[in-house]
Structure 1
Amino acid sequence: MQAVNEVRNKPRKRKTFRMPGAFVILFILTILAVIATWTIPSGSYSKLSYESSSSELKIVNPHGDVSKVPATQKELDKLGVKIDIKQFKSGSISSAVSVPNTYERLKQHPAGIQAIPNSMVNGTIQAVDIMVFILVLGGLIGVVKASGAFESGLMALTKKTKGHEFVLIMLVTILMMLGGTLCGIEEEAVAFYPILVPVFIAMGYDSIVSVGAIFLASSVGTTFSTINPFSAVIASNAAGTNFTQGLNFRIFGLIVAGICLIIYLHWYSKKVKNNPEFSYSYDDHEEFDNMWSVADEKDKEKNIFTNRKKLILVLFVVTFPIMVWGVMSQGWWFPTMASSFLTFAIIIMFLTATGKNGIGEKGVVDAFVNGASSLVGVSLIIGLARGINIILNDGLISDTILHFFSQMVTNVSGPVFIILMMFIFFILGFIVPSSSGLAVLSMPILAPLADTANVPRFAVVSAYQFGQYAMLFLAPTGLVMATLQMLNMKYSHWVRFVWPVVVFVLVFGGVILVAEVLI
């Protein structure tokens, strides 16, 4: 009897739900995308693109039939596409644009079971330029780590910043926000983790602070894009308005959002600094520190900051401003950025291999390969996320969802219209995570609806920015999963930190939108 009571009184272990990892989440979403192609009706708008070789506009109707017309403003007006023809001819709009009032229901295009592995492979192929960039970045990191320059530089930096650690967090946050609002730094932000995360660890911060100061800050900057060509400019062009319209509202929003983000990061980082167990990602802090921490105070001889190490660290750091310069002023894309990083990697490999304490040719090659292999998972995540979009597009349901939303916002008042529009873009941001891709697909359809509600078209551009990026803070189909995979952070930990920012963007963004409509 006593034994029975002991069994009854024995505390039961609670079954806790464990959020699956990035690969499993994307696999589940891929399956759901396949199911969606069976349940959501197929349909499509006609698509319009410019052919520079013949100076003609090519129109592909929903059934795939192709017709061509002269590339003139008159022809665009006939089609109801309120975009300046110069935007096509200059290359500002290079992707196919949806033609208003051309939506047609089509025969269902359900995806089969084979679409799951096929989309994963094809998505990876589509993302190969980004993947090569990430692998080269990983190789560069591996070589710099092997040189010992990281450890020595960090020891010197942490001594100089002691007591003023958050100043660096604030400066990084401001710079990343400026990068986001001016040139749309998104995927490129992954390049900043290797140089900054070890610094943040040495200062006593966690993985959440690292992602908040880099990914979240750049995304908030892009949310309130001012002259970002991949968001504000291309969306304004596709909406038939000028990106300078509404610029004062976006600048005001950027300043307020930046101040609020810095306050939020200061509150959180101070809590973590005073009590490491407060960290939302404390469960994984040991694994995170082992992965990214490079400073070892015990080995004083190893941490001597020699001139060679200083030169290596300078070469490593200088690659990043060069990348930003190339993106902003020279139109660099991932292949060029990868070539730039590889050039510096080769120079650093030579410096690391030779000399008194050199590790030799095999040592630097192994370091490069090991560094690249450590980021294979990150690069694959980007490809898998692309695969989900491929399934939705091949199933011809993306346009059906867009058409449904366009019907939803008809015959409503201006303030209601613009708030609904923001939430429409919030949902569409999950389906089409590319800012430029969503702009050219949706703006020609949704922007003209603003005229019927007496809403300025630039307000629709703002709604697109606020709605889409509030979703991209969370959407597994975007860059979030690659970022979390890189830092080995659970998705649930990130959501716990970022949801107040999502609410802030939707609420504060809604206030700005109503002001744009009424003022």
Structure 2
Amino acid sequence: MGNIKKKKFQLFPFKLPTAITILFLITALVIVISWIPGTTGSWGGTTGHDKPGGPLGVFDLFFAPIQGFLRSDSIIVFVLVIGGYIGIVTKSGALDAGIGRLVKRLNGKEIWIIPSIMTILSIGGTVEGMCEETIPYYLIIIPAMLAAGFDVVTAVLMILLGAGVGVMFSTLNPFAIATASAASGISPGSGIIWRLLGWILATTGTICFVMWYAIKVKRHPEKSIVFDLQGEHHAEFISTEEIPEFTRKRKVILTLFGLTFLIMILCIIPWDSITGTTTFADLSANITKHFPYFTSQIGQFGGWDVMTLAFLFFFASIVIAIIDWRGEEQYVRTFVSGSSELLGVALIIAVASGIGWAIETSGMQQVVVNALASKIITLPKLLVVVIGFFAFIVIAFFIPSTSGFASAVFPIVAPLVKTIGLSSGMITAFVMASGWVNLFAPSAGVMMAGLSIAKVPLGRFYKVIWPYAVGITAFAVVMLAVGSLLPTTIF
């Protein structure tokens, strides 16, 4: 009896297939569900006329990823350009030199990298919905955290949860708050006090969770969920060569490297929405008017889209290549090689986006929205907002785009909840639900892309993340329940 060992609990007792296979299986499930009578219907077209939906065919399983490429072309271009950009910077040795210097200076205090980076990412998430823009950070933060004695999962948690908790508890996110508010006919500032409190508490708790995991792994490396992959991860992300000298040229390159990301952040924050003016729109218009020989394609300062960000990183890669000039042929080879490193990530994004295409084309999303909206509105106010949160999670799985979600759902829901004083409360429930799906659902392209870059199997990631998922869900429910009891000026 003394030799009998207790069998360790495993969330996934079997090995999960690859990310792309999982996404294909989800697409196949959507197709099968579309064959069930009553699950499909017409859906709103871009011209204002409904388009016919209906059951999908078997070959749509392979057609969906192609449509996913077309739907996500801008983010895929962005990802490939980022790969080339990181390749150029890495080739210069500036990243290795900078990370080596950082780790040396933070000797014994590396843990404080976590709250500083996560706070910045969370601010980006809550203000402007920073999501896809975090993909390049994996290639920067993973080597730094490995060199500091942590594991790749620590880096993934920092980035995914850092930005993700900000998105889940959005305060000014124009892609979620502004869109839903416009559809509801209320000000985007309605309910911001309660959302701001939720963001502060959730971000603090999230940082504590990641620091707890990081400290555990640092003290006991064998407790890392990817301990057996440690050698592979170090070979992939840590240079085996001696840390290069931090020369003046590399300092300049690293400065430009950081400046590029700073410009990206500044150019995607909706300054005019925050200030309530047109100052930055006017500034952009004047620059285009008086300096037309540079470009007419760059959008308003504070309103850059993903394609404009791709331009920024492409241009920055050329500037850095000129500083570290190795020849035109070497630049092209390095850029292409860097892009190829993220081709798998691009494929994952495309297949994940194909799920959304399948759900939308079948008309399944409108059926779900109408069915849920008609059921929950007859309940007490507290139950409406809490059940609405979980109902929105279901809808968010079917409509992964927050702006698409708001446009499809709130014209139906807003008139119903207005009569009971839950207009802003349901918007809060909506952003929490859509943010939850982006954090934990396997159909979330950004999550799967991050795991693909970090070489972390999905099943192992869930083993780490499930306590946090339970905790943040419970916190969201409490915030919504308590908020529903407060005056409408707060919630």
Stretch moving more, 337-346 or 14-23: 14-23
Write the mapping of 1:385-400 to structure 2, written as runs, cut at 5 A: 385-400=352-367
Contact 1:195–1:317 (CA under 8 A) maintained in structure 2: no
- Residue of structure 1 in register with 2:21 after alignment: 24
1:157-194, Cα deviation, whole Å (9 max, x unpaired): 11101111111111001000000011110000112222
Aligned pair partner of 1:317 in 241, 258, 261: 258
Aligned pair partner of 2:417 in 450, 459, 465: 450
Aligned pair partner of 2:440 in 463, 474, 479: 474
- Residue of structure 1 in register with 2:489 after alignment: none
Aligned pair partner of 1:335 in 284, 287, 307: 307
1:194-247, Cα deviation, whole Å (9 max, x unpaired): 222211111111122111111211110111111111112221221222221211
- Residue of structure 2 in register with 1:103 after alignment: none
1:349 aligns with 2:321: yes
Aligned pair partner of 1:158 in 89, 99, 103: 103
Q: Alpha-carbon deviation of 1:40?
A: 5.0
Write the mapping of 1:294-313 to structure 2, written as runs, cut at 5 A: 294=239, 296=241, 299=242, 303-313=244-254
The amino acid of 1:396's aligned partner reads G
Structure-2 separation of matches of 1:48 and 1:387: 18
Aligned pair partner of 1:382 in 344, 349, 361: 349
Give 3-state SS (helix, strand or coil) of 1:167's partner: helix
Structure-1 separation of matches of 2:181 and 2:470: 25
Structure with max Cα Rg: 1
The amino acid of 1:501's aligned partner reads Y
- Residue of structure 1 in register with 2:370 after alignment: 403
Q: Alpha-carbon deviation of 1:441?
A: 0.7
- Residue of structure 2 in register with 1:189 after alignment: 134
Structure-1 separation of matches of 2:144 and 2:63: 40
Q: Alpha-carbon deviation of 1:448?
A: 2.2
1:429-455, Cα deviation, whole Å (9 max, x unpaired): 211111111111111112222245x24
Structure-2 separation of matches of 1:112 and 1:47: 21
Structure-2 separation of matches of 1:284 and 1:403: 46
The amino acid of 2:437's aligned partner reads M
Aligned pair partner of 1:429 in 391, 396, 401: 396
1:390-446, Cα deviation, whole Å (9 max, x unpaired): 111111111111111112213211111111100001111211111111111111112
The amino acid of 2:311's aligned partner reads S
1:274 aligns with 2:241: no
Give 3-state SS (helix, strand or coil) of 1:204's partner: coil
The amino acid of 2:398's aligned partner reads I
1:12-38, Cα deviation, whole Å (9 max, x unpaired): xx9961111111101111111111111
Give 3-state SS (helix, strand or coil) of 1:458's partner: helix
Structure-1 separation of matches of 2:467 and 2:195: 20
- The 1:26–1:48 alpha-carbon spacing in structure 2 relative to 1, beyond 3 Å, is closer
Contact 2:121–2:166 (CA under 8 A) maintained in structure 1: yes
Q: Alpha-carbon deviation of 1:510?
A: 1.4
Contact 2:377–2:417 (CA under 8 A) maintained in structure 1: no
Structure-1 separation of matches of 2:33 and 2:312: 41
- Residue of structure 2 in register with 1:209 after alignment: 154
The amino acid of 1:242's aligned partner reads S
1:111-158, Cα deviation, whole Å (9 max, x unpaired): 112211111111112211111111111111111221122222122111
1:325-350, Cα deviation, whole Å (9 max, x unpaired): 11115211111111110111011222
Contact 2:40–2:54 (CA under 8 A) maintained in structure 1: no
Aligned pair partner of 1:252 in 197, 200, 221: 197
Write the mapping of 1:494-509 to structure 2, written as runs, cut at 5 A: 494-509=461-476
- The 1:352–1:136 alpha-carbon spacing in structure 2 relative to 1, beyond 3 Å, is same
- Residue of structure 2 in register with 1:169 after alignment: 114
Structure-2 separation of matches of 1:193 and 1:385: 19
Q: Alpha-carbon deviation of 1:48?
A: 8.2
Structure-1 separation of matches of 2:257 and 2:163: 21
- Residue of structure 2 in register with 1:148 after alignment: 93
The amino acid of 2:38's aligned partner reads P
Cα RMSD (Å) of the superposition?
Answer: 2.0
- Residue of structure 2 in register with 1:122 after alignment: 67
Structure-1 separation of matches of 2:19 and 2:231: 19
1:511 aligns with 2:478: yes
1:370 aligns with 2:337: yes
Q: Alpha-carbon deviation of 1:360?
A: 3.5
The amino acid of 1:471's aligned partner reads V
Give 3-state SS (helix, strand or coil) of 1:473's partner: helix
Aligned pair partner of 2:426 in 442, 454, 460: 460
Aligned pair partner of 2:459 in 461, 470, 492: 492
Contact 2:389–2:433 (CA under 8 A) maintained in structure 1: yes
Q: Alpha-carbon deviation of 1:502?
A: 2.2
- Residue of structure 2 in register with 1:69 after alignment: none
1:233 aligns with 2:199: no
- Residue of structure 2 in register with 1:38 after alignment: 35
- Residue of structure 1 in register with 2:169 after alignment: 224
Q: Alpha-carbon deviation of 1:361?
A: 3.3
Aligned pair partner of 1:420 in 387, 393, 400: 387
- The 1:373–1:339 alpha-carbon spacing in structure 2 relative to 1, beyond 3 Å, is same
- Residue of structure 2 in register with 1:98 after alignment: none
- Residue of structure 1 in register with 2:3 after alignment: none
The amino acid of 1:346's aligned partner reads I
Structure-1 separation of matches of 2:475 and 2:217: 27
TM-score, normalised with respect to structure 2: 0.86
Contact 1:471–1:502 (CA under 8 A) maintained in structure 2: no
The amino acid of 1:122's aligned partner reads Q
Q: Alpha-carbon deviation of 1:516?
A: 2.1
Contact 2:176–2:431 (CA under 8 A) maintained in structure 1: yes
- Runs of 5+ in structure 2 lacking a partner? 1-9, 272-300, 487-491
Between the two structures, name the one with larger relative contact order (CA 8 Å, sep ≥ 6): 2
Contact 2:84–2:335 (CA under 8 A) maintained in structure 1: yes
Structure-2 separation of matches of 1:216 and 1:288: 21
Q: Alpha-carbon deviation of 1:281?
A: 2.3
Give 3-state SS (helix, strand or coil) of 1:227's partner: coil
Structure-1 separation of matches of 2:474 and 2:361: 35
- Residue of structure 1 in register with 2:267 after alignment: 326
Structure-2 separation of matches of 1:16 and 1:252: 39
Structure-1 separation of matches of 2:220 and 2:157: 18
Q: Alpha-carbon deviation of 1:283?
A: 3.1
- Residue of structure 2 in register with 1:11 after alignment: none
Structure-2 separation of matches of 1:223 and 1:246: 15
1:242 aligns with 2:187: yes
